[in-house]
Structure formats: C-alpha cells, structure tokens
Structure 1
Amino acid sequence: MGLLQDDVPTVPSLCGVPLKYISLITLALQNSLLTIIMHYSRVSIPPSESYSAPTAVLLNELLKGFISLAIAFVRIDRTTSHSSDTVSPSFTSSAFWHPDKVLTRVRRLAREVFSPDCWKLSIPAILYVIQNNLQYVAATNLEAATFQVSYQMKILTTAAFSVLLLRKQLSASQWLALLCLAIGVGIVQIQTTTDEPAKVASSLLFNGTSMNALKGFLAVMAACFTSGLAGVYFEMVLKNSQADLWIRNVQLSFFSLLPALVPIVVSRSSDAGVMQSLFANFGVWAWGTVAIQVFGGLVTALVIKYSDNILKGFATSLSIVISFLASVALFDFQVTFTFILGSVVVLIATWLYNQPGRSPAAARFSFSVKN
C-alpha cells in the first residue's frame, strides 16, 4: 500500500525553497565573507594600528553565548517537557511572558546549562578559543584564497581523530580523498612559499604590511588540529547526552570566556584602561569580522539540523571558489598554475570524501566541526 498524503514528511522551507539549500548557500557565503573580511581587516592597515584578535574572539563567544541563551530560553519548554499533551505557549502570547512562567523557565534553563556534565564542554571550549585565535594569525599571513584552501585540512584532522577516538570506519575512497586533500594543500603551499612577486605585490598593496607564509601555514595547521580534536570531542559529548544543541552552545561559550580573557589580560598595557585596551583600533571591519563569525556559528546549527554531508561538500567547494575570485578581484592575487592545480585537487578531494556509501553513523561526524 502506498503512503497516504498525510504520511509524507514535510520538508521545512522558506518561500518555497527548502531550508537545507538556504542554510548551505548561506554557510558558503558566510565562510567566504569571513575569510575575505578577516584577511582585509588584518592587512589593510599597519600592524601598529591593528585591532586585538583576542578581543574579537572574546566578543564572538559573548555574542554567540547571548544569542544561544535567548534561543534556548524560548525553546526550554519543548526540551524539558515529557508529555506530548503539554502545549507550550506561543512566544508572542501573554502567557509566555507571565512572571511566574518566566521565573520557571529561567530555573529550568539554569538547571540545563549548569547540569552535572556541563564541565565536559570545557575541553572543546578551550580548543575552539585556540583555534579562533590561530585563524587570525593565519588570515594575517596568508592570502584569502590560500587560507581558505589550506583550512580544508580540518577535514583530514577531523577524520583522523574520529577514527582514533570514535572508532569510525572510513571507506577506501575516503582514505584516497584524504590523501588527495593533503597533496592539494601541499601544492598550494609550494606556490605560496616560492611566489616572491606575489609577496611584494601584497606588501605594496597593504601599506607595507608583510605576510609570513610559513607562519601562516603553521597557524592553519595548528587551527585544523584543534578544530578536528574539538569537533570530535564535541560529538562524543552530544552522542552521550540528550541536552538541546542550543544549551550546549551556551555551555561552550561560557567555558570559552576564561581562556579567551587570558591573552587579553597578559597583553594589556598597565597604563591603559580596560575598555581602552579591549577596543583599541576596533573599527568597522573588526566588528564586521565578529558579526560574520557569530552569524556562521548560528548557521552551522541549521546545517546540522536540516542538511546532509553531500550538500555540505558543495558548500565548501563553493566557498573556495568565491574566496579565490574575490582574492583576484580585491587583493590583486597572483594566479599561478600550481595554485590552480592544488585548488582543483582539494575540490576533488572534498567532493570524493562526501560521496554516498557511508554508514549513517559515519556520515554525522563532520557536522560537529565548529566554524
């Protein structure tokens, strides 16, 4: 017997377009914009006038934490109710904002956020803070397109930690894809370290700001390492817990605050005020970088919920292409054969890695990587 009309699952959509496509296109654009704006915000001004990267990381965690907390507050009745007959009041209804209801909801939220196992999020939180700071170092020392291609190495590190810690099984085509990914990134780095004219052009274009390709590459590799370890550990926590994803985001942001504050306190001048040290040279482009990072963290949650690995692979490929075209148009990026070759190899590796044929369990882990 065929399915009745009422049995067909509804696909969430916006204006007739499925949310999985909207979220992935948005994620691709966000990844590209973040790379471009972060790079421009760091190299368009002399180093003496540059804003504090640790401050940007701290603001990123604060804003994401507050937004996630607000979403968790709205959703708390659904996540804590065990009765299917209970109907939660609408966000716009007067019952939702009744003082007694609000107090009850705050208490529930506090119990969820400060649950006995919340400390487990401290490890990925510290790793994510390190990763985010390393991204700024890499964006300062690498061209936007080179950074975007090289940062795809996080697929390899995530897969490696997933095999080691979660005992995931990878297919032969996936191992081949990871090998191709490493080769492609290596080819791009050969181009980066040997292309002296590109370095000179960049220095002239950006007010004498010099870029150290080796330093940038090491920062990318370290960021990919921390990203892979944090992502896999975060998945381990999610698999062994029924807590809402937004609650986990609040916990991540909460445990990120202390490690994010440490480099700010260490580097602060004794004769400068706290606010003056925090927001020194913090202009429009710095705020734009923080805003896009926060937006990306929220979009990632939609991708986890509504999309799949195949489409995520296309989004990654699209972001690489956009970053490449933007680098050529905006940063006078010198296109070479080795960069094109390395980028194509990385794109093929990304596509191959996300091909169907994996078990459902093995298909989930790459979603746990935080942007």
Structure 2
Amino acid sequence: MFRLFSHNRLAWLHGPQGAAYAAALGLIAIQVGIGIIMKISQSKGTYDFSPSSSVTISEFFKMLLSTLFFYRECKTRIANREPAHTPLPTSERNSFEETKPFAEDQTSDLNGNGHSMSPTSAYTPAANMDIKTFILFIRNEVSRDTRYGFAQLALFYALINNTIFVAYKLADPGTIQLTKSGVTFITALVMIATLGSKITKIQWIAIVIQICGLMVTQYHPEEGTAYPISTYLILLFQVFLSALSGVYNQALLKSDGSSLHADNMILYASGAAINLLLHLVIRVLKADEPGFFTGYGSIGACLVILSNVFIGLAITAVYKYADAVIKCFATAVATGILLYLSPILFGTELSFLVLPGTIVVFIASWLYMEGAAPKDTNASMPKQVNEPTHPSIFSKMSAVSRLHQRRVLGIASFFTVVVVAFLTMSNSRMPDRAKGKTAGSQPAIDEAADLVLESPFKNTLAMVRWNSDHPERMPLLQQYAPFFHDLHFSMPGYVKGDVEFHNLTHDSFPSAEVIYTQIAKTMQLILDAPAGSATSEIEGLFYYHFDAWIDPLAYAGSNMHNIWFPDIVDQAPPNGGGPRFECMTDPKRYDWWGWGQKFHHASMAASAVVDHFDMDYNVNPYEWCIGWTDIYYVPRRFFADYIFLSSIFGGFSVFHEVAVPTMLHIIDESRRRHPSRSIIDRFGDCWGSCCASNPNVQDILWNRCGHRLDYVNEKVTAVHYERLGNQTAMLGEPIGETVYAHKRPTSPNAFSAETLTALTVDEHGVKPANVTSESIDEANAEMDRLARQREKNLEKIQEASESIDGFLEPEPNPLTDGSSKSTVQER
C-alpha cells in the first residue's frame, strides 16, 4: 500500500494518467472499507469511544508514518549527495502560484521525492545522518508561509473528520458517499475560480451524467426523503468543506516543490494538536463524552483509526499525482459499491433503479478521465517580463494572511472549536429530531417493527425508593427485574452505619426531602461506566416508590427520549393530594401546605445561582414549580443537566416536590428545539397522588401506574404481581402484524363507497337504493360475520369476569409476613 506514495514506483502504470488511476483505485478500496467500519463500530446508534480522540490518534500515527518516510528520504539524499532543499526565490516561496497546477511539466523535472534536481544548492548536509541533520532537513524543507498554510488546512480537516462521525450516526454509508460524490460539481467550480483550471466540455458532460446517475440510485417513486433536513444540511456542510480543503491542499502541495512526506508531517502534527484541543473542550462541555482512551478495547474502534490513517495518505497521493476532482470520482465509484453492500450488511432498502444508476456512475467516471484536456505545450514556456499576471484567490488570501498569520490562525482555531462543539452537543440530542412520516392512513407507529415482545424498559434502570427500612419487601419488588436493564433499591439503613453507601444497584441515602441528589449520583455512575460495558447500555432512569405500581408492557410506544412527569388533578388541596404539576411566580395561584415552609424561597435562590453560572440555561429566577415526584422518568441525554442542577438545588436543600419539577422545567425550557415542542411528556393516566391509598382491582388493571399500593390488602396487591408474572412469561413471544379494516383480504369491498351507500334509512326502515343484488348480499354477509364475532367476544368477556370473581375469593396468601400487617405511611 505504501508504494502508492512514491512517484517512481508508480511507473509500472503506462500513460500520463497512470499515477492518478492507481491513487484513485486505492482511495476507492479504503473508502468502501471505512464506510462499513464506521457503521459496524457503532453500538446502538452511537460510538463507545470519543470521535475527537479517535481523530487525534489517527493524526498522530499519520504524523509518525510521514516522519519515518521523510527520514528514509533524507538518508537517500545524503547517500546520493543531494541537497537538503533547493530554495526558491522569495517571491515564489511566499505565495501560491497555482495558475498551472496540473501541467505535467511541473513534475517532469522532479525526482521521485518531489525535489528539483538543479545542480545548484544553498546547502548540502554532511554525509552522516544524525538527529541534528534531520532537524535541519525539516526546517529547510518547507517555507514558513506553507507551514502556516498547512496549519490552516488542518483546521478544515478537523471539521471534516469530526463531522463524519456525526454523519454516520444519522445516515447509512450509501447516502453519505452519495452526497460526497456531489462535491464533483462544486470542486470543479472552485478549481475554476481559484486555480484557473480548465474543465473540458466532455468532462462537464461526465459530471452532469454522474449526478443524474447518483440521483437515480436513490430515487423511490413511492417515498419522500429518508432523513430530516438537519441530516442533509450536515452532509452538505461536509461536502462544501471537502471541496474547499481539497483545492487548498492541492495548492499547498504544489506551491514550492517540497517533499510530500515533509508536508504531511506538518499537516498531521497540526491536526493532532487541534483535535486534542477539541477533545478537551468537548469533555468539559459534554458530561457523557468518553475519555481519551476509553472504548478502544473493541476491534471496531481500532479499525476506525487504522482506516483513517490509510485514507489520509491515499487522499494526499491523489492530490499530488492527479487533482481534487479525480478524488471525487473515486468517491462516486465507492458509492456504487456501498449501495450494493448496504442492503446486505445494514438492511437498507434500495430502489429497483439502483442497478442502472450505478452503471451510469461508472460510465461517467470513465468518461471524465478519458476527456481530460490535452497538455498545454505553452505551459513550460517562461512568461515574458511584461506579461500581465492574474493572481488567484488563494494568492490574494495568502497575501493578507501573511500579514496577520497568528491572528488569523487563532480566529480560525476558535471558529473550528465552536463548530465542532456545537455539532457534537446537538448530536447528543439527535433522537429528538426524528421526523414523523406517515402516508395516507398508515399509522405513525409501525407495530410490525418488533418481531418479538420486549419490554420498553430493557435499557432503563428502575430506581425503587423506600423512605424507611423494609428489606422484607425487596424479594417481591424483584419481580420487576425481567422488564428493566437493572434494578436499584434505595433504602435508608440498607448498610447499617454507612449513609454514604451507594453503587449501581443499592444505596443507603437517608433523606427523602432531597432524594434527587442520590438519583443524580446514580446517573453519574451510569455516565462513568466504561464504554462497551453492560452499564453503558442504560439509556434512561425510571424512579418510583416501592408502593407504586408500574405496568411495564403498557408503556410500549412511549417516547423514551423525552422526560415523563405525572400530571394529576389535585382533588383536595392543600393537604388532600397532589400536588399537581404547575409553575408559578406567585404562591397564591395554588393552595399548598409547602408555602408555609418557604420552600419556594430556597428554589428561587437556587435558580438565581443557576442563572449566574451563564451555562446557556433558560432560567427565570423568580419562578418555581411544584409537582408529584413519586414517579417520573429521565432519559440519558438529560442526565448531565439533571446532575448539574441537582447539585445546586441540593445545596439549598430545596424540597423534592419543588426542586424536581423546577429542575425539569429548566431543562425543558433550555433544551427544547422550538417553543411549541416540549421535551416533557405529561402523563395523566397514573392513579392516585402523593398521599392516595386503597386502590381497588379495577384501578390496578385499568391504569398503567399508580400510587399507593396498600400491602396490607393482600388481595388487591396480588392482582398486580400476578399480572407481572403473566407478562414475564410473555416476553420473547412473536408479535403479529396489525390487519387494518380497509385492507382485510377476506372482505376487500366491505368498506367501499358502493357497499356503504347500498343502504338508506327512512321512516320504513332499511331498503336498497339503486344497487345490485350482489353488493347487498356481500354487505349482509359481512354484517352477519361481525355479529358472530361480537357474540364470541361477549362470551370471552363473561369468562374473564368469572375468573376474576373466583380469584378474589378469600384464600391464604404468602405475599406478606407478620411485619406487613402494619400500614406503611410513606411520603
């Protein structure tokens, strides 16, 4: 593979375009590989390692390889008594003269290392190769302006390399490569505007054909766009950066004839430093960002680094031996290959037009390469002294940048950090950006997507809270275990004498008033779990009291990316129930006993501190909220916000029924994408309130959650745990598809307009109206069938009712012991 990067070793390919063909072939192989690797290295749609650290490590290894290659090159020069470098005139070394960047004579006078073989030299090193001599080679090889140019180019590649991780989380490899291929047209325009390059008519035709072919491969006659507009904007942003950096890289490589390996050393060293800075900034801003060396125990993460190393070297070879547009056509060919592999590896659904579209792409690629402009015979002729020159855009920009190199580089670095941090942070909220797409009468929820019955909480931790010491209840609560990823039992005195004890499954936290601070500690344990571990799979935390009941399977189809908070109607304020979820600035709006305890004063003080931190939270320091906090759910993407806010509110000892609603309200106001799009799902089908008791059997079976179960009433409590046992046995069963009324195969015309208008009603009853006897017979048959089905359903309901009545007959129940005979009054 490394033979691609030496021009004289590519001589086995005949023709002036031989090196370009070889470099493009290598690029195709690597792009197909990295497209697959970037997708299979994901775990549940995300990466267990830090993308910025992966890019940093890749850039560092590429720098080491380039250093090794340049060291060998320098030893060869010493052995051949070649100069360290033939300095160009100052006017040439300090500007980018790209008016003829693709002329073959520009490289015909160079040896395989990209250096002039002029007999004159300003410096010839000693015969022996030592560290000082090697450093001298490095310092004299690349001009100062070119070094600054490569540092700026490294900023472009930092944006591109970090954005590509976001792209592979949002789209399939075929779509990503397809969008990259569209850069051909943009690159051609940029080359014309900046470098004065010439694109022949045949090449323009090839570009148009290529774009049409790529569009055909993705065309679905019956569907719209597969991804939301934000995904396409990110892909287009990367396309634009690729086009601009490609031309800029080409200009730098051909600016002063320096060694390709020396250029790479500067580029990759700058890239490693910039991406390391990006990683440190993202770690500060994003609490769940993996550590620098976290997640590299998997082969997928290592393959990502390896593929990035090779693709960087291959792209450099393409720019050195061909031009940036060749790179784009190599990407187009790789797209066609990935479009074939995506259905096999990732289950992507492709249109029947993918085959002809891909063939068109290959033909267009061949047509472009064969339609290159002939060699300009006047390109090698020296310009007349009085011949006017037209400096390129890069020449003008470089002249301005040369006057303020450090300032320009600093501003560009700051801009890069801001953009990458924004994309990374917005990507952490990407599940909220899913686009609901329905067609006609098709339901929004695809019930056929699940093949077997699974708990919606399979990746959720259930945190069950006791406010007093009752370890005898724990075995009964263990029946929730099959439905959750893990169970966490929080009970005062669980470990005697150690109130600070806590791990992923237990804690001894004593205070019910600020229990949210212990919830935050549990969230932090989840975020700190090593990537690839079982704990790192947890995507949410469901908190509820032990005497609440949860019907796990009833939450199927719920939005697991939003916060859930109960929204109940307080039947007897201020002391009889509730409190209902409400935010206010005046305690007179709601009659509640807590105002006498000045709970809202502590909340306002905590909100003022949050607002003082200036951390992009939308906070009204004069507003607070109240609500029932015995049952609620927080997804992983808001763990960092919850942890930070709980540390502030816990510091002021804000009462939990004020602190938790206020914190969740702050998160909602700060993280929602639009004022009309709340990230809190307020559920009102939870029976009871903070202080309600004695639900009956119908309350248990009708409501998917509630509070409080009376464990003294063994008959009612047994109904809930019997249901949990039955649902546990159902897990793993196959799920059938929903058959909609208008799509029934046995009666396709039962709901047609002709059938429904076959009957009219007047004072004499029902009679036919201008219809055929066949349609009436069909309608009558359907009505008879529905009547028979209704009778069967009534019989099943009667049998179920008799079973429940028999179940409620008094009988011994082993659920409780003598200690359960006392009523547990908890809050």
Cα gap change, 1:40/1:216 in structure 2, threshold over 3 Å: closer, same or farther? farther
Q: Secondary structure at the match of 2:182?
A: helix
Are the counterparts in 2 of residues 141 and 215 from structure 1 also a CA contact under 8 Å?
A: no
Question: Structure 1 residues 245-254 or 318-327, which shifts more?
Answer: 318-327
Which of 59, 72, 76 pairs up with 2:70? 72
Structure 1: how far apart are the matches of 2:9 and 2:274? 43
Are the counterparts in 2 of residues 113 and 248 from structure 1 also a CA contact under 8 Å?
A: yes
Which of 244, 249, 253 pairs up with 2:259? 244
Are the counterparts in 1 of residues 183 and 328 from structure 2 also a CA contact under 8 Å?
A: no
Are the counterparts in 1 of residues 199 and 372 from structure 2 also a CA contact under 8 Å?
A: no
Are the counterparts in 2 of residues 187 and 339 from structure 1 also a CA contact under 8 Å?
A: yes
Cα gap change, 1:11/1:251 in structure 2, threshold over 3 Å: closer, same or farther? closer
Deviation string 1:215-253 (CA, Å, 9 cap, x unpaired) is 443232222211111111122223321211111111111
Asked if 1:172 is matched to 2:201, the reply is: yes
Structure 2: how far apart are the matches of 1:192 and 1:290? 39
Structure 2: how far apart are the matches of 1:122 and 1:28? 27
Deviation string 1:73-99 (CA, Å, 9 cap, x unpaired) is 2212536266889xxxxxxxxx99x6x
1:146 to partner: Cα distance: 2.2
Structure 2: how far apart are the matches of 1:310 and 1:160? 10
**Alignment partner, residue 226 of structure 1:** 241
Cα gap change, 1:135/1:321 in structure 2, threshold over 3 Å: closer, same or farther? same
1:164 to partner: Cα distance: 0.9
Alignment of 1:304-315 (within 5 A): none
Cα gap change, 1:349/1:262 in structure 2, threshold over 3 Å: closer, same or farther? farther
Deviation string 1:304-338 (CA, Å, 9 cap, x unpaired) is 66779999788556533432332122112222134
Structure 1: how far apart are the matches of 2:260 and 2:344? 39
Asked if 1:299 is matched to 2:314, the reply is: yes
TM-score by length of 1: 0.72
Structure 1: how far apart are the matches of 2:328 and 2:145? 36
Alignment of 1:269-284 (within 5 A): 269=284, 277-282=291-296, 283-284=298-299
Which of 322, 335, 349 pairs up with 2:337? 322
Cα gap change, 1:129/1:360 in structure 2, threshold over 3 Å: closer, same or farther? farther
Structure 2: how far apart are the matches of 1:249 and 1:113? 11
1:255 to partner: Cα distance: 2.4
Cα gap change, 1:302/1:256 in structure 2, threshold over 3 Å: closer, same or farther? closer
Cα gap change, 1:123/1:182 in structure 2, threshold over 3 Å: closer, same or farther? farther
Aligned-residue Cα RMSD (Å) equals 3.9
Deviation string 1:163-208 (CA, Å, 9 cap, x unpaired) is 1101112112222233333444444555499379xx7xxxxxxxxx
Cα gap change, 1:40/1:215 in structure 2, threshold over 3 Å: closer, same or farther? farther
Alignment of 1:1-371 (within 5 A): 12-13=11-12, 24-42=24-42, 45-47=43-45, 50-77=48-75, 78=77, 80=84, 101-112=130-141, 115-188=144-217, 190-191=219-220, 194=223, 212=227, 214-269=229-284, 277-282=291-296, 283-303=298-318, 316=331, 318-360=333-375
User: Runs of 5+ in structure 2 lacking a partner?
Assistant: 1-7, 78-82, 87-116, 120-125, 377-827
Q: Secondary structure at the match of 1:335?
A: coil
Structure 1 or 2: more helix by fraction: 1
Structure 2: how far apart are the matches of 1:356 and 1:50? 46
Structure 1: how far apart are the matches of 2:71 and 2:46? 42
Question: Structure 1 residues 309-318 or 162-171, which shifts more?
Answer: 309-318
Structure 1: how far apart are the matches of 2:213 and 2:186? 15
Question: Structure 1 residues 257-266 or 290-299, which shifts more?
Answer: 257-266
* Corresponding letter in the other structure for 2:157: Y
Cα gap change, 1:271/1:160 in structure 2, threshold over 3 Å: closer, same or farther? closer
* Corresponding letter in the other structure for 1:164: A
Structure 1: how far apart are the matches of 2:163 and 2:286? 27
Are the counterparts in 1 of residues 333 and 361 from structure 2 also a CA contact under 8 Å?
A: no
Cα gap change, 1:359/1:238 in structure 2, threshold over 3 Å: closer, same or farther? farther
Structure 2: how far apart are the matches of 1:192 and 1:60? 41
* Corresponding letter in the other structure for 1:32: V
Cα gap change, 1:75/1:179 in structure 2, threshold over 3 Å: closer, same or farther? same
1:33 to partner: Cα distance: 0.4
Structure 1: how far apart are the matches of 2:369 and 2:21? 16
Deviation string 1:133-161 (CA, Å, 9 cap, x unpaired) is 22222222222222222211222222111
* Corresponding letter in the other structure for 1:108: F
Structure 2: how far apart are the matches of 1:142 and 1:116? 39
1:356 to partner: Cα distance: 3.1
Higher RCO structure, 1 or 2 (CA under 8 Å, sep 6+): 1
Structure 2: how far apart are the matches of 1:296 and 1:192? 35
Structure 1 or 2: more strand by fraction: 2
Cα gap change, 1:314/1:227 in structure 2, threshold over 3 Å: closer, same or farther? closer
Bigger radius of gyration: 2
Q: Secondary structure at the match of 2:371?
A: coil
* Corresponding letter in the other structure for 1:121: F
1:24 to partner: Cα distance: 4.8
Cα gap change, 1:214/1:10 in structure 2, threshold over 3 Å: closer, same or farther? closer
Cα gap change, 1:161/1:308 in structure 2, threshold over 3 Å: closer, same or farther? closer
1:298 to partner: Cα distance: 2.4
Are the counterparts in 2 of residues 310 and 354 from structure 1 also a CA contact under 8 Å?
A: no
Question: Structure 1 residues 265-274 or 114-123, which shifts more?
Answer: 265-274
* Corresponding letter in the other structure for 2:70: A
* Corresponding letter in the other structure for 2:84: T
Are the counterparts in 2 of residues 29 and 319 from structure 1 also a CA contact under 8 Å?
A: yes
Are the counterparts in 2 of residues 23 and 303 from structure 1 also a CA contact under 8 Å?
A: yes
* Corresponding letter in the other structure for 2:158: V
**Alignment partner, residue 204 of structure 1:** none
Cα gap change, 1:64/1:80 in structure 2, threshold over 3 Å: closer, same or farther? same
Question: Structure 1 residues 341-350 or 320-329, which shifts more?
Answer: 341-350
Structure 1: how far apart are the matches of 2:203 and 2:85? 41
Are the counterparts in 1 of residues 209 and 361 from structure 2 also a CA contact under 8 Å?
A: yes
Deviation string 1:322-366 (CA, Å, 9 cap, x unpaired) is 3233212211222213444544443343333222341448xxxxx
User: Runs of 5+ in structure 1 lacking a partner?
Assistant: 1-8, 86-94, 200-211, 362-371
1:257 to partner: Cα distance: 3.1
Structure 1: how far apart are the matches of 2:9 and 2:164? 39
Structure 2: how far apart are the matches of 1:221 and 1:32? 20
